[in-house]
Structure 1
Amino acid sequence: MASFAHDFPFDPAYGRTLDDLLRIPAPDDAPDDFDAFWRARYEEARRVATEPELGPLEEERDGVRIHGVTFTSVGGVRLGGWVVLPAEGAAEAEYGFVIGHGYGGRQEPGPDVPLPLPRSAAILPCVRGMGTRGLRAGIPDVSSGHVLHGIASRDTYVLGDCVADLWCAASALHELVPETARTENGPRLGLLGESFGGGLGALALPWDDRFAAAQLTVPTFGNHPLRLTLPCVGSGESVRTYHRTHPEVTEVLPYFDAATAASRVKRPTLVAAALFDPSVPPPGQFAVYNALAGERELQVLDAGHFEHPGTAAATKELGAARSRFFGAHLGR
């Protein structure tokens, strides 16, 4: 059980040891039409003409060129983000990545570049409502409000559209860089997501066979029934507060449970889960890992969403594990 000096009014380790965390399952109340709901959402997203437009070069570093990009997602929503290409040109790309972002949004490509593998291209979308290039009128741009937007119904909850934004981003990348699409040896596309992006990634993965492998770091939205009992300083606290006056939300949340979705994930997945995390309670993170139905790998972090003396070393170690993992699983 990890322990750090802190001033939170609760224990960010939630009294669990690693052994305890490795026994936390997905919830047992998945809706009967969970799969049908998500397959329909995926089919809708695949019908979208994403019409990606690559912007001018914004930055060149680490052997890549970074361009702005816009593309269309479900509902005709036009979103932005960045595309990363090998410095030698798109034709040199052998692998592709869709990279989600945390609930702080994305203002720039930042630490997601350099990419996990050389000779790669990537799209870094800003999902609707988040980041400077995903802002939308009527959708709150801070996590406490965003996570509640449309939550009264499974059909209007913003998380469903955010997952679709990742699928449409993959379509846009394939159109811009056809080399990242499926080859005779299988798909060449990887999915990465951290925190908010990790939860969205788990929800996106089971239905989209364009992804060969994925890496989810401190993923959120895992085991909602348990999350509703755990105080935190992240978006989950907004949902807990909302639940107190709107108990009927428990009819909606099961459709957006990342651990339930993980139980449908068959492709290789690396999960980095933390023992101590004040923003995304570790029990939910480990529920996602424990539920994975396919080949899986666990990287245990001492802490998530919390700076500590070992943060830099842990980040470096995770980066090395990520590169090794995708090197073993993309296009094999």
Structure 2
Amino acid sequence: MSALVHDFPFDPAYGFTLPELLDVAPPPAPDDFDAFWRDRWDAAARVTPEPWVGPLVEERTDGRVYEVSYASASGRCGGWLVLPPEGEPVRHGFVIGHGYGGRDGVGDALPLPLPGSAALLPCVTGMPVRGLRAEVPSSAERHVLHGIGDRDSYVIGECVADLWGAASALTELAPGLAGRGRLGYLGESFGGGLGALALPWDERFGAAALTVPTFGHHPLRVTLPCVGSGEAVRGVLRAGSGDVAARVMGVLGYFDAAVAAGRVGVPVLCAPALFDPAVPPPGQFAVFNGLGGERELFVLSAGHFGFAGEAEERGRLAGVVEAFFGRWLGARG
């Protein structure tokens, strides 16, 4: 498509062509990256989810929506549960992440990619409206910095645990979904980055779709201006001493979605964008390029930016997502 007209003081394509984006390799991993995440997963897996399901919120032809809450390694999380229409059995399951603004309902998550599906849509730690915590900032610019001085206190780790907790709650509510490879994951932007970090360690997920994923290639990302949460991280690095910058970059190494992607063994459909003022495209493509298993690419013209033809492009992506999960999860229902 022709160049997008914008008024940002930087180029949201960052001068990269598609072939150049496809050459962006993930950065090196910390030596104990795998051990760190396996320990986090082990702790999360020991939590009994204790799901609570509220009254019916909305009934649609493509599903019934309920409020839900569950226990996570980070505390109690809220969200929404989607079940198939009355009388239809649960054959498939999805955990659906959200962007860096939280969610106040199921939004455009319905219809789900496969018929006969249940889904849990969590609000992760600190995020509106059902993940709010008194001690955790809810704005993206402050949330992304919460606990960033230490890998064990960084809030992003708690958010990843919330996705694992959502899977535990969903499989307890729909026991037929329990087992290896029975769940799908969907996540966009913030939810895409969290998904890449969560997937390698949880064998309950059998396929995933990550759209404009964030947290990819932090060493490169912090060199690129943006209007998203990454700019808040850049601000800390600019304002801090050399010791502060080194400590923050050390922590970010454990939360790099492109590094985690290399550990993902299940099929992933990745939809990065060529132009994105909030999540720089080189980081998005680093996630796709790093994927360690079967992978599929759908290139978006832009992310976090409206343009002529966006609705049609998103419609095509929805069809690709449906076909993708039909191939990889459909036969397991």
Per the TM superposition, whether the score is higher than 0.5 is yes
Alignment of 1:129-278 (within 5 A): 129-182=126-179, 187-244=181-238, 245=240, 246-248=244-246, 249-278=248-277
Question: What secondary structure, in the 3-state scheme, does the structure 2 residue paired with 1:169 have?
Answer: helix
Which residue of 2 is the match for residue 97 of structure 1?
Answer: 94
Q: Once the 2 structures are TM-superposed, how far is the Cα of residue 2 of structure 1 from its aligned partner?
A: 6.2
What amino acid sits opposite 2:307 in the alignment? H
* Aligned position for 2:77: 79
| TM-score normalised per structure 2 | 0.96
User: Is 1:112 matched up with 2:109?
Assistant: yes
Q: Please give the alpha-carbon distance, in whole angstroms, between the structure 1 residues aligned to 2:105 and 2:204.
A: 26
- State the 1:260 CA deviation: 0.2
**Distance in 1 between the 2:70 and 2:285 partners?**
33
The count of aligned residue pairs is: 326
Alpha-carbon distance between aligned partners in 2 of 1:198 and 1:55, rounded to the nearest angstrom? 27
Percent sequence identity over aligned pairs: 63
CA contact (8 A) 2:181 2:207 kept: no
CA distance in 2, matches of 1:62, 1:143: 34
Post-superposition CA distance 1:7-62 (Å, at most 9, x none): 0000000000000000000002x111000000000010010011001110000114
Once the 2 structures are TM-superposed, how far is the Cα of residue 188 of structure 1 from its aligned partner? 1.8
Q: Provide the residue aligned with 1:32 in structure 2.
A: 31
Task: State how far apart, in whole Å, the 2-side matches of 1:235 and 1:82 are.
Answer: 25
Q: Distance in 1 between matches of 2:213 and 2:158?
A: 18
Per-residue CA distance 1:99-125 (angstroms, 9 max, x = gap) = 000001101110111101110000000
The 3-state SS of whatever aligns with 1:324 is helix
Could you tell me how far apart the structure 1 residues matched to 2:198 and 2:62 are?
29
CA distance in 2, matches of 1:52, 1:282: 37
In structure 2, the CA distance between the partners of 1:196 and 1:231, relative to structure 1 (3 Å rule), is same
Structure 2 CA distance for aligned equivalents of residues 202 and 87 of structure 1? 30
CA distance in 2, matches of 1:88, 1:213: 26
Answer whether contact 2:90 2:176 (CA < 8 A) is retained: yes
Q: Which runs of 5+ in 1 are unaligned?
A: none
Structure 2 portions without partners, runs of 5+: none
C-alpha contact 1:121 1:180 (8 A) present in aligned 2:
no
Matches of 2:176 and 2:107 in 1, distance apart?
24
Aligned-residue offset at 1:147: 0.2
CA deviation profile, 1:273-319 (whole Å, cap 9, x unmatched): 00000000000000000000110000000000001111100110110
Which residue number corresponds to residue 4 of structure 2? 4
Preserved CA contact (<8 Å) 1:2 1:13: no
CA distance in 1, matches of 2:77, 2:203: 23
Matching residue's letter, 2:203: D
Higher mean alpha-carbon deviation, 292-301 vs 91-100, is at 91-100
TM-score (norm 1): 0.96
The list of structure 1 runs, each at least 4 consecutive aligned residues, that deviate by more than 2 angstroms after superposition, is none
Q: C-alpha separation between the residues in 2 aligned to 1:242 and 1:63?
A: 45
* d(CA) in 2 for partners of 1:325, 1:219: 18
